[in-house]
Structure formats: C-alpha cells, structure tokens
Amino acid sequence: MNPESASELTRQAVLLALLLAAPMLVAAVVVGLTVSLLQALTQVQDQTLSNIPKIVVMMLVGLLALPWMVSQLVEYTGTLYRNIPQMM
C-alpha cells in the first residue's frame, strides 16, 4: 500500500464519520439554539434545561437515521473489502 492510497482511505473514513455524525449534530444545534432563545425570552437560566432536550432529540434522530447510517457503513466496508486485492 502506497502513501497515496493510505491517505485516501483515511480521508474517506473521516468523511464518512462526519457524514454519519451530521444529522445528530445538526439536531443538537437546532434544539440548543431554540432552548437558548426560549431561556433568554423567559429569563430562566437553568443549565440542565438545555441539556435534556438535546439528549432526547439526538437519541430520536439517531434512532431514525440508524438504517441509513448502517447502510452507509455497510457500503463503505464492502467497497473497502472489494478493493483489498488492488491495494496489495
């Protein structure tokens, strides 16, 4: 395996990890901003109030996106295994 193919595999793995984490991260940002806005409007400054909705929404989004995430991982792994003879 040459350095170019190793760096390409690393790039693809990092890109896949970012792609798989994106739905939950976007949901957390949206919920966090919404809760922060509501806290600013109502002047309720409880720290746990912002964490609980984020955790719940991230779990729900993770469960909803799980089939897509698994299919992406299976596709990447299949491609990786098919390309092993060409890398040697």
Q: How many domains does the chain have?
A: 1
DSSP letter for each residue of 64-77 = HHHHHHHHHHHHHH
- The band of 46, judged by pLDDT with boundaries at 50, 70 and 90, is confident
Q: What pLDDT score does 2 carry?
A: 82
pLDDT at 3: 83
The percentage of residues in the chain with a pLDDT greater than 90, rounded to a whole number, is 58
Which of the pair, 2 or 74, is modelled with greater confidence? Answer: 74
- Domain extent at residue 29: 3-87
